[in-house]
Amino acid sequence: MDIAFTKGHGTGNDFVLFADPDGELELDAAQLAALADRHFGVGGDGVIRAVRSSALPEGTAVLAEDPDAEWFMDYHNADGSPAEMCGNGIRVYGAYLLSEGLLELGVGETVAIGTRGGVRQLTRTPDGFEVDLGPYLVAGEAIVAARRLAVDRPGLAVGVGNPHVVVALADDAELDALDLGEAPVVTPTPPDGANVEFVVPAEPLISGGVGRIRMRVHERGSGETLSCGTGAAAAALATRSWAGDGAPDAWRVRVPGGEVGVRVEGDHVFLSGPAELVFDGVVAL
């Protein structure tokens, strides 16, 4: 079977995207992992299928939540496992729908997109997209061990549609020394696994009313990546909660692949950043 794909990324978090509007291509986990394989396939941190919500069983709940959510982001990690949400992926998905002529959206306009985590509102901005990640939950403590981390550290569980555990480190040297080639061990084990973010404050933490942090991430199902949008939101939310009263609502999160913006409004958290399409091709599966 030949699949026409587009390769895209958001701050270096890269994806293989393909269109299957009517839900005719049900790829299994091994086929999805083969697409994402960096040696034997196209290569990516995840695979995104553009499919109409009406063509999927999950779409029933999505369309009940928002009948305007015509398109569903069918997201899978590099190992072929499904995930509820992808913050970088949904921006790249927006760019892909536009480039394929499947969506019309002017700057400042918003579209509803279905995901396994529910409907997300995606707004086109002059330099990319902003997504409303919805209501967040900062709750639950854990202990995290990682290679080259001298002592285990406390972690804070954050839910933004998908599960995260955020760990504060002392400084850049400690962050740079981490070996994320192996998954950090989180205790107690999260029932559905977790993405794990390690953060350090910038110096100063807050300038011009904006909080600034650096982050590295080990993603569930994908390993260490150059960026994770939902992870950046989780990292900003955790740092904001540690900072206490008076902490800013706006954050800039530096990741190995660039920088994204996070802002908190009420009980919702928003993520903004670029979305790049890099090349198209056809791959035989």
Ligand X SMILES: N[C@@H](CCC[C@H](N)C(=O)O)C(=O)O
Point out the residues that are catalytic: 86, 228
- Interface region with ligand X, contact rule CB under 6 A, candidates 135-143, 174-182, 226-234, 274-282: 226-234
Q: Give yes or no for residue 11 binding ligand X (CB under 6 A).
A: no
- Interface region with ligand X, contact rule CB under 6 A, candidates 28-36, 114-122, 181-189, 220-228: 220-228
Which residue type is seen at 230? Answer: T
Distances (CA, A) of 9 to 89, 217, 279: 8, 16, 10
d(CA 45, CA 106): 28
Q: Give yes or no for residue 272 binding ligand X (CB under 6 A).
A: no
Q: Give yes or no for residue 121 binding ligand X (CB under 6 A).
A: no
Q: Give yes or no for residue 219 binding ligand X (CB under 6 A).
A: yes
Question: Per the annotation, does 87 bind a ligand?
Answer: yes
Among 123, 222, 239, 272, binds ligand X (CB under 6 A): 222
d(CA 257, CA 156): 24
State whether residue 236 is helix, strand or coil: helix
Which residue type is seen at 151? Answer: V
The mark string for 195-214 relative to ligand X (x by CB under 6 A, - otherwise) is x-------------------
Q: Give yes or no for residue 124 binding ligand X (CB under 6 A).
A: no
Q: Give yes or no for residue 89 binding ligand X (CB under 6 A).
A: yes
Question: Per the annotation, does 10 bind a ligand?
Answer: no
Residue 94 host element (H or E): helix 87-99
Residues 6+ positions from 246 with CB-CB distance below 8 Å: none
d(CA 266, CA 135): 9
Binding site for ligand X (CB under 6 A): 13, 46, 77, 83, 86-89, 162, 195, 219-222, 228-231
